[in-house]
Chains A and B, each alone.
Chain A
Amino acid sequence: MPYATLNLCLVLLAAWVVIGFTGLLRPASVGFAGRALFPLGALCGAALAIVAVLGLPIPPERVILPFGLPDLPFHLRRDALSSVFLALLGGASAGISVFSAGYFRQGAGTLPGLLCFQYHVFLASMGVVLLADDAYAFMVAWETMALSSYFLVTTQHRIPDIRRAGFIYLLMAHLGAVAILLSFGVMQGTSWQFTFDAMRATVLDPTWASIAFLLAFFGFGAKAGIVPLHVWLPEAHPAAPSPVSALMSGVMLKTAIYGVLRVTFDLLGEPLWWWGLVALAFGLFTAFYGVIFAAVQTDMKRLLAWSSIENIGLIFTGIGLTIIFHGLSMKSLAALALLATLYHSVNHAFIKSLLFLGTGAVLHATGERNLGRLGGLIRRMPWVAWLTLIGALAIAGLPPLNGFVSEWLLLQAFLFANAVPRPFISMLLPLGAAIVAFCAALSGYVMVKFFGVIFLGQPRESKLAEAHDAGFLERIGLVWLALGCFALGLLPVQVISRLEFVSRYLIGADFGARRTEWWLLAPSVARQASYSPLVFFGVGTAVVMLTVWLVRAFYHRGVRRSAVWDCGFVRLNARMQDTAEGFGQPIRHVFQQFFLMERKLPTPFDKAPQYHLVLADRIWRGCYVPIGKLVRKIADVAALLQQGRISTYLTYSFITLIALLMVVL
């Protein structure tokens, strides 16, 4: 049956919109939106994921919807690339929606029904972005996505800081959208047809193709958070409610990745290999910049936002490698890099959603985002703690979880880069592998800090004793995402055989026939590098169990609780634990030229000593503030036109009219 998958996807997206509008019927009722609508939305998400995964092998399908302006209908198309991202959208949003069902409650911000509306419109617009097959439908969906997420970010709109964060987000989103629009304008060539088919058919000369690529890279980079366009991320994520952060970081950033892949490999056709260098350089720098900033954060959601920037950097690194290999017609390696990119996108969606939801549960239980006031929550919130631990291990890239697989594949792709037939490039590329490895290691450090300071040790505040664990629905959401992390980590061969439909579609090559066994993943020859997560998991679990059993059986025979050894100090208290600042201090010290530091140290004679530290982003001060000043200056000059006198304004119109008539004359 033709179009079946695409139609099913559309029905599910429409269902999201209907759910959203239903929420408006009873806007003030938490029970209605939370207990009834959000779980329904989650079901739609899970169904979408299944439909999309099953639809991967099916050749592209298209449909024309009679929406929009006259003579400008929406063209929609589903192919392997959109299917992967639809599966990501559906899978991650299913968990987030279930969690949201238990999360949103009566508060000072937006009414729950309205929130439900914005949330589901956001989901549906992301779906349409992934399915759009003409620039018009794409831009409409893209802007709907930006606007609905803006309103979600500013849920607590009575707080000035949150309004400011929302404004920065909206500003960056629009800058990006303008660049994307211009890129589409270049890509249509001289056909003046804005369907993607026309863009595929247009052959641009290299200069214009490069301009189109760079515009698209800028536009999608602003959405994804490429340094230096990342400034909105660390502002918007702490401002937004946690499920919204999860959705934005886990899913929305990936629509930008989708956009770059779509434009580069599908619409522009044959990418030039040096574009890959641009993407690679920005990607590596972003990953590096993101991870060192993540290491010094003291706000748990800001920390995760910076970690998202790091991961986006890694994904862009993968895209860069893919373009380089593809441009130099090393198809099989390009497929490897592309698979790593896609795999990491999917992984990051699950992991980051899980972590953001974990912070949401902590935030609800304690009302605290500051790491310096948390601690010891593993006793109060065991569910959240253990499930967050899975996410933390996954993002740190530890086997057998999913983060390891994609980072390993990316490193493998790097290790083959010496085959690039360009001198210097082939020598310099492996250095990128060092940066990727550095980022992976440092992200492990970040996660030790994240998990350790929040959940381990002693509670730093007395109110933490009243913290309660996540509710039933919230737990289901977290468990769903954690299971996703496990499944993606343990079954890489199956996942990759699905993702290969994309590489075959975009690059015309796949991973090759070097797959030997269903449980063994080997990008080249098994002798050189291979990975078998199931065996690793089995052996690892067995070793741990055996050790625990041995220790229990022969050593202590049970858990003994005793006082902490206090090194001779009297009265150890929770304030003496290692803090987030303290843990990040070495990184701050090593990379201090990247930070703009404002520190106030107490003198030895202070009666009430205070330590004050603010770390700011140099890019904000060095790049955005001057641009802001310039804009203000131009605006001041333009304001001279504004005299406040109606006669003057009328004279302007009059002179314009006369001048235009002169031209006609």
Chain B
Amino acid sequence: MNGIPFDLQILNVLAALFLLLSFSMLAQRRIVTLVNLLAIQGLILFIATVLLAWRTGETHLYLSAALTLGLKVIGLPWLLHQLIRKLDVYWDTEPLINPSATMLIGLLIVIFAFGLAQPISALASTATRNTLGIAIAVILLAFLTMITRRKAMSQVVGFLSMENGLFFGAMSATYGMPMVVELGVALDVLVAMLVLGVFFFQIREQFDSLDLRHFETLKEDE
């Protein structure tokens, strides 16, 4: 580890925490905690971005760090907490696949992600290229979170976590996306959140519950 400068070591630690948080989100069943974990993930993303911005001197990274802080650490979690209180959903029902099996699948996914990242990292010229595998792993784990959950709320959290992973991946591969794209994505997430918020109320109105199992009745039958 001697060859790696101190700030990069911190960055690697942050990346590891990032991945760890994904795993805890995969296992977590309390929705309030899930949202908190998302907020912490956002916080790590924020710190990592600031660190990277300081290291590379890219000014637009500061801006995206500010965006991360405002949107992902404060804005969306607050919004989600509001929704949880209003909709009165604190617990997800038991997941579709049991937690230990999910964890094992998650492990396989991480290995797969690192294998996938190998050739890309070799090509990338950024200082942070080693963390690309983690980013991909986070994206896939978030996807897995979405698959295994029953409540619409936890799926949204999974979706936002996936976005975090994407952001992290872009940062580690090319020091962030172009500003326009980043702004666009941020706006998309915000809008998606608002739309989904409206949907939640509609879904509850319709089915008296946020459980997605009720959607199966929507299927068209002969």
Contacts and interface: CB of A to CB of B under 8 A. Distances in A.
Interface of A: 636, 639, 642-647, 650-651, 653-654, 657-658, 661, 664-665
Given A647-B147, A654-B144, 12 more contacts: A636-B222, A644-B215, A645-B215, A645-B216, A646-B215, A647-B146, A650-B146, A654-B143, A654-B147, A661-B116, A664-B116, A665-B115
Interface of B: 96, 112, 115-116, 140, 143-144, 146-150, 155, 212-213, 215-220, 222
Given A664-B116, A665-B116, A644 B146 contact: no
A639 B219 CA distance: 10
Contacts of A645: 212-213, 215-216
Contact of B217 (A636, A644, A650, A657): A644
Nearest to A653: B143
Contact of A646 (B212, B217, B222): B212
A647 B116 contact: no
B218 A644 contact: yes
A651 B116 contact: no
> Can you list the 8 inter-chain pairs with the closest CB atoms, starting with the nearest?
A644-B219, A644-B216, A650-B147, A646-B212, A654-B143, A647-B147, A650-B146, A651-B147
A658 B113 CA distance: 10
Contacts of B112: 658, 661
24 contacts: A639-B220, A642-B219, A644-B215, A644-B216, A644-B217, A644-B219, A645-B212, A645-B215, A646-B155, A646-B212, A647-B96, A647-B148, A647-B212, A650-B147, A654-B140, A654-B143, A654-B144, A654-B147, A657-B140, A657-B143, A658-B112, A658-B140, A665-B115, A665-B116
Contacts of A661: 112, 116
Contacts of B220: 639
Contacts of B218: 644
A340 to B, nearest CB: 53
Interface of A is mostly: helix
B38 to A, nearest CB: 18
Residue among B147, B148, B155 with the most chain A CB within 10 A?
B147
A648 to B, nearest CB: 9
Contacts of A664: 116
Contact of A650 (B143, B213, B222): B143
A338 to B, nearest CB: 52
Contacts of A646: 155, 212, 215
Contacts of B217: 644
A637 to B, nearest CB: 13
A661 B96 CA distance: 25
Nearest to B97: A647
Nearest to A649: B147
A643 B219 contact: yes
A647 B150 CA distance: 8
A604 B90 CA distance: 81
Contacts of B115: 665
Nearest to B147: A650
Contacts of A658: 112, 140
A636 B220 CA distance: 11
A665 B112 CA distance: 9
A643 B216 contact: yes
Contacts of A636: 222
Contacts of A653: 143
A644 B213 CA distance: 9
Nearest to A664: B116
Nearest to A661: B116
A665 B115 CA distance: 8
A652 to B, nearest CB: 10
A57 to B, nearest CB: 55
B219 to A, nearest CB: 3
A50 to B, nearest CB: 53
Contacts of B147: 647, 650-651, 654
Nearest to B158: A650
A284 to B, nearest CB: 44
Contacts of B96: 647
Contacts of A644: 215-219
A428 to B, nearest CB: 51
A636 to B, nearest CB: 8
A647 B144 CA distance: 9
Nearest to A639: B220
A643 B96 CA distance: 15
A603 B88 CA distance: 75
Contacts of B222: 636
